[in-house]
Amino acid sequence: MSVRELREKIRNNEYERLPIGTKNKLINKEETNVKDLIPNPIIIKNKNNIEVITEKVLQRLILEDIPSFLKELGNGFTFIENEYKIKIGNKYNYIDLLLFNIEFNCYVVVELKVTELKKEHLGQIKVYMNYIDENLKKITQNKTIGIIICKQDNKYVIKYCSDERIITRAYELV
């Protein structure tokens, strides 16, 4: 990591935005996984100070500076495609962002929500993750991870989610 990258991480308070459990893992030099290292909230640049934020606008803000967004998520993330088209039965669905994490050797499905987290969001991303695991994932790759980036987290909804591979993070526009 270069001095410039380290200064950027410090300026963005990256360590302070990590979950307490992750900080303890880092201090104790325990093994971490992809979901441990994603800060909360995720900082998304809003250079034009857009005030009305829809899912499409949020996606556009991310795509305008995809390198910064990938760095914000952590190490090893690569961009595959936005609005990744999948066919379930006779209906097309679109994954907001499909990424791959090289370090953890897994696909990452990202869904964007401009509301508080709802249980329906968990069902949606779970379907997308299962589709990717069944149709794209190679046998040598780890299972797909899901990230729901939402306006506000809901600890009660996440508490009863039985899938540890789904994580939620709030976003903050700067």
Note the pLDDT of residue 159. 72
Mean pLDDT across 17-29: 66
Confidence of residue 23 (pLDDT cuts 50, 70, 90): low
Instruction: Give the mean model confidence (pLDDT) for residues 66-87.
Output: 95
pLDDT at 22 over 70: no
Question: Residue 161: its pLDDT value, please?
Answer: 74
Q: What residue ranges define each of the domains in the chain, with the CATH number in brackets?
A: 3-173 (3.40.1350.10)
What's the chain's average pLDDT? Answer: 87
Q: What is the DSSP string of the chain?
A: --HHHHHHHHHTTTTTTS-HHHHHHHHTT----GGGG--SSEEE--TT---S--HHHHHHHHHHTHHHHHHHH-TTEEEEEEEEEEEETTEEEEEEEEEEETTTTEEEEEEE-SSB--HHHHHHHHHHHHHHHHHT--TTSEEEEEEEEESB--HHHHHT---TTEEEEEEEE-
pLDDT of the residue at 156: 64
Mean pLDDT (whole number) for 58-69:
96
Chain segment 142-171, per-residue pLDDT in tens: 999 999 999 987 776 767 776 889 989 999
- How confident is the model over 95-146, as pLDDT tens digits? 999 999 999 999 999 999 999 999 899 999 999 999 999 999 999 999 999 9
